[in-house]
Amino acid sequence: MLNITNNSISSRIDLTSFKSYQSIMNRKTYRQINKWLIGFLVFSLIMVFMPWTQNVKSDGALTTLEPQKRPQAIVSVIPGRIENWFVTEGESVTKGDTIAVLSETKDVYFDPKLVERTQNQIDIKTQSVEAYESKAKALESQILALQNLRTVKLESLQIKEKQLALMIASDSADLAAYDFAATIADKQADRANQLYKDGLRSLTDVEVRDVKRQETSAGRVAKENKLAYQKQELQALKLQFEQTRQEFNEKIAKAESDRFTAISAMNDAITEIQKLEISLVNYEMRRKNLVITAPQSGVISRMHRAGIGETVKEGEQLATLLPSDFSIAAAIYVKPIDLPLISKGQKVRLVFDGWPALVFSGWPNVSYGTYGGVVSMIESQTSVNGYYRVLVTPDPSDYAWPNSLQLGSGVRGMSLLSDVPVWYEMWRQINGFPPSFYKQNGEKSASLGAETLHKKSS
């Protein structure tokens, strides 16, 4: 009763006749309630002193550590037109199996004998290179022959020049002798004339001396003319020597010019051959790229283009391939505030989507359906979602992960930290302190919250 008025009804109503009143006022009921309260208090005291494993929860998806084993896009390297498909979605393929066949859409590649014609052009240009090379070698031989002939000619002219010089020296000596003989003949003729005048000599002697003087004078003139001619021959020989050397130099220069022209033409032909070979390789590779093949063994999960006759662009995705053999890993995303608590080699408990699990976050040992993992990599920059990406690999000392896991399925991770009492964890949560954590060498560190509180108090 509320007893909010002065009028009492206790005299008119007997409360003991009610079962509820009897149950409440019964002392046995009080004793039972006290037992339950005392038991709950004892259980609560025991619970607050039980160990609690601190952890950092994070979500993510399954992936693989090997980049070549992740879902791969099968693209067309060149633009083309789809002629035929050889696979369907969900079909298993091995490396090198044909996925699709394309045809050319550019008119410059329509010629079915484009590769053969390009090879013929290369063969013709190769023959031209050989011809230019032979011409260059022939001109080189001709240059050597001209150089040898020039040497011979010049040496012959030098010999002739030496011979003329000797002849000129000899004739100069003869001319000197004739000059001396002419002088003597003149003196003898003059003495003979004087003696004839004096009557001491006959006219015959005088005539003989005059004839001798004329002969000597004529011989001296002949020697002078011969010496002058030989000097002119020597001068002409010198001019011929220079002319011969100039003529041979011109011939050699022309032959070298022709040789350089042949070499230049040969180099141009070689350059054209290299360009044609590059085009040939490009044509062959382009023809191979018309056949789209599986880069590795796996399963075709999705076809992005369908139908026959559709055109595709360069680099356009045709299908998605899931590799059949891959090493599974979990990519979980950690908040920036929790990143200092994560270290490489740290233990992580994982719960996979589709696998039943009974999880007690503070008691991982009594949880059911969780699997062990080890942190293998921590990204140094945030992802697009603002979280840090952490890769977790299977723990070799724990149960093996299920074989039916598929790439891309969801996963939840609990990064295990230090073991603390329940009361400490409650106190930490109420005060908003960060959890304790293990150092990288495995030693347990003090709580960041306790350290902060100690610094504030000091």
Kindly tell me if the per-residue pLDDT of 363 is higher than 80.
no
CATH T-level topology, domain 114-287: Helix Hairpins (1.10.287)
Find all residues with CB under 8 Å of 101, minimum gap 6, and list them. 82, 83, 84, 86, 290, 291, 292
Alpha-carbon distance of 52 to 42, in angstroms, equals: 18
pLDDT of residue 230: 80
Query: Which of 128-132, 178-182, 223-227, 440-444 bottoms out in mean pLDDT, i.e. has the lowest?
Result: 440-444
Q: Which of 111-115, 356-360, 421-425 has the highest mean pLDDT?
A: 111-115
CA distances from 174 to 161, 178, 180 (A): 20, 6, 10
Cβ atoms of 64 and 284 closer than 8 Å: no
Alpha-carbon distance of 312 to 305, in angstroms, equals: 9
Residue with tokens 């040789």, as numbered in its chain: 259
CATH of 71-104+290-323, one of 3.30.300.130, 1.10.357.10, 3.30.70.1450, 2.40.50.100: 2.40.50.100
Kindly tell me if the per-residue pLDDT of 370 is higher than 50.
yes
Find all residues with CB under 8 Å of 305, minimum gap 6, and list them. 82, 312, 316, 318, 319
pLDDT of residue 449: 38
At 31, give phi and psi (nearest 5°): -65, -40
74 burial (CB, 10 Å; 0-12 / 13-18 / 19+) is buried
Alpha-carbon distance of 347 to 370, in angstroms, equals: 12
Q: What secondary structure letter does DSSP report for 442?
A: S
Alpha-carbon distance of 238 to 425, in angstroms, equals: 119
pLDDT of residue 448: 39
pLDDT of residue 75: 92
**354 φ/ψ sector (left φ>0, alpha ψ -120 to 50, else beta):** left
The superfamily CATH assigns to domain 53-66+327-457 is Efflux pump adaptor protein, beta barrel domain (2.40.30.170)
Which among 431, 436, 432, 438 is positioned nearest to 448, based on CA atoms? 436
Tens digit of pLDDT for each residue in 252-290? Answer: 999 999 999 999 999 999 999 999 999 999 999 999 999
Domain range summary for the chain, segments of one domain joined by +: 53-66+327-457, 71-104+290-323, 114-287
Average pLDDT estimate for 407-431: 70
CA distances from 400 to 60, 82, 327, 350, 414 (A): 19, 44, 12, 12, 17
**74 φ/ψ sector (left φ>0, alpha ψ -120 to 50, else beta):** beta
Give helix 422-431 / helix 27-48 axis angle, nearest 10°. 80
Cβ atoms of 391 and 65 closer than 8 Å: yes
Alpha-carbon distance of 93 to 99, in angstroms, equals: 9
Which among 390, 432, 429 is positioned nearest to 59, based on CA atoms? 390
Tens digit of pLDDT for each residue in 191-236? Answer: 777 776 776 666 677 667 777 777 777 777 777 777 788 888 888 8
Alpha-carbon distance of 150 to 144, in angstroms, equals: 10
Average pLDDT estimate for 148-175: 83
Q: Which residues pair with 102 in a beta bridge?
A: 82
